[in-house]
């Protein structure tokens, strides 16, 4: 029981941190300064009010200083972090599971930024790729089969990129490559198809809702969902 409480709370901490990364990325400010504050009255939030989920509940979703409603995205991210933590560490905490967990947190950050701004911050992609290189080196392998998959995918993506007149984001390409590093060779094609199917499903819904096929969608969340499924956490 203590283990599960620890894992859950650990996840909320990283979920909260991921929200900070997304929020400050969108607002184009440092993740270090200024310290956390109310967006309405600018009052600095005390440490006691920074406890993930618990503080939100105790404060009834409002700023202690001005009663400004706290966005539901805060507890949502904290809860998502907790769920990811419980899923990844349900069989124990190992170096392998820790790397996978951080890959998921990075995916959450990348996807959220994409949803909010239709922009992919390459800094987080590079960090994800660095983690992926470590993971593949120690737990998978850089064999000919993997290199073939990367080359074929790169050629197809470049072809689509050209004929679509750059209507697909090149950031998605690097996001895909980063996640390839975490996935077994035999599952990469399946991963690709799932992400395309999920993306197409939601694109159709959005097109029907807006009564137009000329829409721009954030594709990273669908890649993330496919990754979640394919690594079978």
Cis peptide before 65 (omega within 30 of 0): no
pLDDT in tens, 160-179: 878 766 666 778 999 999 99
Average pLDDT over residues 110-136: 95
Residues 227 and 124 in one domain: yes
Q: Is the dihedral of CA 104, 109, 113, 115 positive or negative?
A: positive
Question: Are 144 and 159 a contacting pair, CB within 8 Å?
Answer: no
Average pLDDT over residues 93-118: 95
Residues 36 and 138 in one domain: no
In-domain check, residue 111: no
- State yes or no: pLDDT of 196 exceeds 80: yes
Residues 72 and 130 in one domain: no
Question: Are 230 and 194 a contacting pair, CB within 8 Å?
Answer: yes
In-domain check, residue 115: no
Q: What is the pLDDT of residue 165?
A: 63
User: The domain containing residue 218 runs over which residues?
Assistant: 120-233
Average pLDDT over residues 25-38: 81
In-domain check, residue 13: yes
Residues 1 and 81 in one domain: yes
Nearest in space to 219 (alpha carbons), one of 106, 119, 127, 121? 119
- State yes or no: pLDDT of 49 exceeds 80: no
Which one of 93, 112, 133 terminates a domain?
93
Residues 42 and 7 in one domain: yes
Band of pLDDT at residue 61, cut at 50, 70 and 90: confident
In-domain check, residue 129: yes
Measured in whole angstroms, the distance separating CA 135 from the mean position of its chain's CA atoms is: 18
Average pLDDT over residues 76-91: 95
* Phi-psi sector, 183: left (phi>0), alpha (psi -120 to 50), beta: beta
Lookup result for tokens 């979640």 = 228
- State yes or no: pLDDT of 81 exceeds 80: yes
Residues 146 and 231 in one domain: yes
């Amino acid at each position: 029981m203590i283990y599960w409480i620890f894992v859950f709370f650990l996840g909320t901490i990283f979920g909260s941190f991921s929200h900070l990364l997304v929020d400050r990325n969108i607002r184009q400010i440092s993740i270090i300064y200024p310290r956390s504050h109310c967006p309405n009255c600018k009052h600095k939030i005390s440490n006691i009010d920074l406890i993930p989920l618990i503080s939100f509940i105790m404060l009834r979703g409002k700023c202690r200083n001005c009663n400004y409603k706290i966005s539901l995205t805060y507890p949502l991210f904290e809860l998502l972090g907790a769920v990811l933590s419980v899923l990844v560490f349900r069989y124990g905490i190992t170096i392998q599971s820790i790397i996978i967990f951080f890959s998921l947190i990075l995916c959450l950050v990348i996807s959220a930024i994409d949803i909010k701004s239709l922009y992919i911050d390459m800094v987080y992609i590079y960090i994800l790729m660095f983690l992926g290189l470590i993971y593949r080196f120690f737990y998978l392998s850089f064999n000919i089969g993997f290199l073939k998959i990367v080359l074929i995918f790169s050629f197809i993506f470049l072809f689509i990129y050209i004929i679509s007149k750059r209507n697909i984001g090149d950031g998605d390409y690097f996001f895909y490559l980063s996640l390839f590093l975490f996935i077994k060779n035999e599952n990469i094609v399946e991963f690709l198809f799932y992400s395309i199917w999920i993306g197409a499903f939601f694109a159709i819904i959005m097109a029907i809702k807006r009564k137009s096929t000329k829409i721009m969608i954030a594709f990273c969340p669908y890649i993330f969902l496919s990754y979640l499924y394919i690594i079978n956490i």
